[in-house]
Amino acid sequence: MSNAHTHTNARSLLAMLCLSALLGGLIAVALSAALHPSPADAAPASAAALESSFTAVAARVSPAVVNVNTEKEIRQQTWGFDIFNFDPWRDPWPPFRPQTRVRKLTSLGSGFIITPDGYVLTNAHVIGGADTISVTTGDDKTYSANLVGIIADKDLAVIKMIDGPTDLPTVRLGDADDVKVGSWAIAIGSPFGFSETVTVGVISAKGRVVRQARGREEMRDLLQTDAAINFGNSGGPLVNTAGEVVGINQAIFSPRGTGNIGIGFAIPVNPDTKAAIDKAIRASRRRV
């Protein structure tokens, strides 16, 4: 009887140990799954977080992005026959007279507000040769603007809104030196006049050198991005996921001139760029 009882107790103890080990293993697996989700479980959360960062950047930066509108008057001297003012009995022959033809050229680009009192950064080529400049803000209000300064070697221009508010939304300037190839890039601007358009891509390369068409000047040390940049995006901000402007959209590569093919370029915002911008603003404030 004693030996049978001993064997029974041993079997019971062994069964309890096995059950405990099984329960422990199940608990460990459950904890591991909770602490280290599988890629399938993690993907929706990561996608949601990424989407949230994009929407937050758009909400923060878009109000400070503006349309830059310019107008230039072109006068051309031509010869023509003024049939309405010609008197064949009095006016000399031949009846052709010099005439002045006046044409108005308008262009549209982008820019962004860098101070609450209305200093705006854009490309120099956006406002080059303009007789008048105006800025339309995100709330569809338009203000005249004056040219403050040109940073020629960087194709940048600082303009100042006239009689605008002094509490305007502004962007935060970052540092392109900290940007890595493969980093997210968000372009905001007015391609083809569609204001506050947001496109997303990555930084494709740094330090690009690009020669403009027909042998014009070189553009150096550019950021390359596949975030869609189209006509009218020039002068708009290229932003990181922290909402900091790391580049100023400048140009695209388009073999047939038809628009974006995924190769766009932006002027990097770095300490040298920021120093040049600050210098232009300080000189403007001293003149006031």
Residues serving a catalytic function are: 125, 155, 234
CB 228 within 8 A of CB 199: yes
For Cα atoms 18, 20, 26, give the angle at the middle one, nearest 5 degrees.
105
Write out the two tokens for 274.
Answer: 């920021």
Residue 261 neighbours by CB distance under 10 Å: 13
8 A C-beta contact, residue 234 and residue 109: yes
Contact, 237 vs 249, CB < 8 A?
yes
Residue 214: strand, helix, or coil:
helix
* Residue type for position 133: I
Which position has the token pair 């096995």? 18
Q: Which of 125, 126, 128, 116 is nearest to 160 (CA)?
A: 116
63/42 Cα distance (integer angstroms): 33
**If you ran DSSP here, which 8-state letter would residue 83 be given?**
T
